[in-house]
Amino acid sequence: MAKSLIVYFTQGGTTGQVAEAIATGLRSKEHQVDLHNMSYGEPPNLDGYSLLGIGLPVYIFRPPFKVIEYLQSLPELKGLPVFVFLLHGTHPGETGNIVRDALTHKGGHEVGYFKAMGADYFLGYLQRGYLFSPNNPTASELDSAQAFGRNIADLMMGIKYIKQDHDSPPSFVYRLERFLTNKWLVKCFYSWLFFVKSKKCTSCGICMKVCPARNITENKKGHPVWGRNCLLCLYCEMKCPTEAILSPVSWPLFSPFIAYNVWKARNNSSIVHARVIHERGRTKRLDQAQKK
């Protein structure tokens, strides 16, 4: 029985749903599948596995730093079959290209690439009243993910794989946003500039619990302190029930970019959106509130 490892990163759970669906497809073809969420520690080594899958959401038109670090840590793959799947709420950017190329550079043999839409809980969009791809991944997309898993299993049996073309590069504005939020700037600059409004902070610890990088600790007052391993996911600010946290992305510098992204996605007929109100750490969909 073929033994497969799917390593994925998820926060809201949608990438995990797709990972489970792909695993179901593989298992239907007699594959043993191990799933590992990067948020729960270091993935196992690759000894004994005949297939490796990498799953991730798109972060600011690029892979999350956590995924990039894992790819860099991989040993020489020596022809190991690999596949990639990603979820994007608006534009995927070159995320898939970056991951696929990294695996090829490590000696992996690509046997599949899959994309699906995923609910885009990015704070900048929520604050402007928009949740993009709110109901994704849909049942149809999860069915497609299962079919993708079955197809991977068939390819492992010797069926010829026709490699998909790389995704088209994003526009200059998206590439500029990606540059302005690169890992060096986040580590050496932005991660120092998270701000806590002391009078609002109740030391509830939610920001520490939701941080996928375990990057937040507490000071003597129980207030959050950020380390240098920030992913710039903004979950700490997004989930704060007293709105005590202010991240660098809330600066005026980023406002034109976020407004541009919202405008582009809102006017893209292929991207569904819902109007929302985000306050005190919660996102409320206005369409659902109207039905009640």
Question: What pLDDT score was predicted for residue 159?
Answer: 78
Domain with CATH 3.30.70.20 in the chain: 172-291
What is the topology classification, in CATH, of domain 172-291?
Alpha-Beta Plaits (3.30.70)
Residue 136, phi then psi, degrees to nearest 5:
-100, 155
Measured in residues, the chain has a length of 292
Q: Which CATH superfamily is domain 3-119+135-156 in?
A: Flavodoxin domain (3.40.50.360)
Residue 190, both tokens: 């932005």
Domain with CATH 3.40.50.360 in the chain: 3-119+135-156
Residue 207 is given by DSSP the state: H
Question: What pLDDT score was predicted for residue 39?
Answer: 84
Q: How far apart are CA 119 and CA 125, in angstroms?
A: 12
**Considering the chain, what percentage of its residues have pLDDT values greater than 70?**
98
pTM value is 0.92
Q: How far apart are CA 19 and CA 40, in angstroms?
A: 15
- In the chain, which residues have pLDDT < 50? 289-292
